[in-house]
């Protein structure tokens, strides 16, 4: 499987979900072997590879690096890049966090499609799971079994009349991601807003870029699917699983997934795959 980059530069702009800072994000073609890399142009071009060894266990988001040069809330961008099958790309930003856009991966997925794709030298990285792997982190539980391509089986449970228990299974390809997952938006509850903002989070959140629920239903929006909530969690998993550094052949079951839990799970996947490769 040859490596893939984009044909031309493309960009999106908006405000970050948690930091609330205006940002322009630019997707740039990259040479074979570059991988997926984020670059902070407001920090003298500091780059961070989108690999699990650079991931930090952060609240309510997936973060790469620490300190003033960190990249926050990368999961939606990574989901779009992974679903498009892009191996080599530089994601340049002039702020610490990608724009939240409408709360989904859809705008990033669309921008990449408009940029077009180019095959290039070298083979794409493929990680194949050969044995069952399990991990638990608090309420989050994960397992991976051998599979061809990536299949996600995701379950969530929230004590809210619009959510309750939801479960969805998705065979992740570019086409199925566009149909089933790309447009699923992030969500949160009115009761959490004050506490999260006191921690410096969701400063850029609004009903135009997130599904906000009070005790009765959604506020100032309508759902795109009745089960948009589990679809969004599955989309987040696509992005976080991309931190393994390539395409993943596995059947993954995630129960109440969190960004923290998925990062820990990817670390375990990488450890087992690397150990398997080392023994060959």
Residues catalogued as catalytic: 259
**Contact yes or no for 238/79 (Cβ under 8 A):** yes
Structure tokens at 204: 């850029």
**Contact yes or no for 20/103 (Cβ under 8 A):** no
Tally of residues, the chain:
280
Could you give the C-alpha distances from 191 to 18, 22, 84, 108, 213, in angstroms and in order? 17, 26, 36, 30, 9
Contacts of 274 (CB under 8 A, 6+ apart): none
Exposed / middle / buried, residue 211 (Cβ in 10 Å: 0-12, 13-18, 19+): buried
**Contact yes or no for 154/168 (Cβ under 8 A):** yes
For strands 89-93 and 36-40, give the pairing: parallel
């Amino acid at each position: 499987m040859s490596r893939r980059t984009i044909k031309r530069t493309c960009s999106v702009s908006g405000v970050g979900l948690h930091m609330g800072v205006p940002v322009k994000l630019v997707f740039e073609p990259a040479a074979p072997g570059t991988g997926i890399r984020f670059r902070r142009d407001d920090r003298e071009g500091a780059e961070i590879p989108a690999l699990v060894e650079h991931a930090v266990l952060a609240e309510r988001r997936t973060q790469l690096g620490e300190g003033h040069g960190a990249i926050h809330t990368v999961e939606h961008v990574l989901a779009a890049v992974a679903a498009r099958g892009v191996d080599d790309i530089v994601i340049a930003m002039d702020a610490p966090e990608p724009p939240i856009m409408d709360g989904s991966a859809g705008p990033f997925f669309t921008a990449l499609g408009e940029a077009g794709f180019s095959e290039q030298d070298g083979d794409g990285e493929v990680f194949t799971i050969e044995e069952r792997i399990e991990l638990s982190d608090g309420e989050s539980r994960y397992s991976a079994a051998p599979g061809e391509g990536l299949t996600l089986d995701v379950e969530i449970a929230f004590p809210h009349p619009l959510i309750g228990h939801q479960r969805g299974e998705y065979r992740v390809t570019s086409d199925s991601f566009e149909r089933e997952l790309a447009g699923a938006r992030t969500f949160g509850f009115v009761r959490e807003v004050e506490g999260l903002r006191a921690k410096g989070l969701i400063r850029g959140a609004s009903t135009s870029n997130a599904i906000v629920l009070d005790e009765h239903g959604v506020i100032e929006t309508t759902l795109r699917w009745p089960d948009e909530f589990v679809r969004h969690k599955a989309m987040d998993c696509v992005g976080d699983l991309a931190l393994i550094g390539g395409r993943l052949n596995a059947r993954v079951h995630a129960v109440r997934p969190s960004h923290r839990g998925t990062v820990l799970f990817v670390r375990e996947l990488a450890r087992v795959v690397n150990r398997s490769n080392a023994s060959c």
